[in-house]
Amino acid sequence: MKISLVSIPIKMYNAATRGTTIRFHMLHEECNSRIKQQKYCPRCDRVVDNDEIVKGYPYGKDMYVVVTDEEIEKAQKETTDYIEVVKFVDKGDIPAIYFFDSHYLVPDGKVGAESFAVFHKAMKDMGKSAVAKVVLRNKEHLLAVVPYDGSLTAYTLHYPEEIQDLKGLEELKEVGKVEVSEDNLEMAEKLIENLSGPFAPEEYADEYAERLKEIVRAKAEGEEVKVAPEVEKGKVVNLMDALEKSVQETGKQPKKQMAKAGTKSKTTRKKKKKA
């Protein structure tokens, strides 16, 4: 990793795996053979070989510009063996929506340990993250490097053009028209308070994957597949009723008596806002 004239020898490891993901193969039901997908041209009405296929970029309906592998190579960058820090920003400045992958960065040998430790502590003490670039597999990636649990974690970032503009979501316009009731707000805050606590990732598990694994195990061993259906809770249509019952289920009472909640008129609420 390069920070101006400072070079820090590092190693990069995947911070997350997809070990719990359940993947299935497509089989022919009659004989359990794996299905092979063929590349088919609908206009010529035939299967085509790989050497007949080229890359095309769409620029209109059924209109493409054919681009060769040699032309694509011209746009590629040479893969680098270092991460270059281009800027430091305050921790939390980068919106979470930009993050989509993560890797651990650790010092490569004793030579890099000192400089790694210095920048790790400096960034942590100053509350800073680093914006960096790296070229992997001929493509330039943008990274956020953040101190985490004794390591530096590099999060791959989306480029701005990859983020959908919220202004294009018509449904959000309705949110701005809603007049939030003080009673509903108080109950919502109490519910949030009741369900608040430190983040403990060990409390959570991929229940869907665990259920699928149990089904696969049972079938492989010739056992009867038994999956207990989830009990659906009764639906509550009224927002205040739903909030009250949720607060009750989470075991704490709101500051005001629940019997009085929801009884204030809009006039009273407006007077309170002006006070």
- pLDDT at res. 89: 95
Residue/partner pairs of 263-270 with CB below 8 Å, 24 or more apart = 263/183, 264/182, 264/183, 266/179, 269/181, 269/182
Confidence class of residue 76 from pLDDT cuts 50, 70 and 90? Answer: confident
- pLDDT at res. 69: 86
Predicted TM-score (pTM) of the model is 0.65
Q: Mean pLDDT check: name the lowest of 10-19, 106-115, 136-145, 158-167.
A: 10-19
Most confident of 27-41, 172-186, 235-249, 259-273: 27-41
Confidence class of residue 261 from pLDDT cuts 50, 70 and 90? Answer: very low
Give the mean pLDDT of the chain: 83
Who has greater pLDDT, 28 or 257? 28
Q: Which architecture characterizes domain 2-18+83-162 according to CATH?
A: Beta Barrel (2.40)
* Rounded Cα–Cα distance for residues 196 and 235 (Å): 23
Flag whether pLDDT at 227 surpasses 80.
no
Parse the chain into domains and list their residue ranges. 2-18+83-162, 40-75, 181-192+237-275
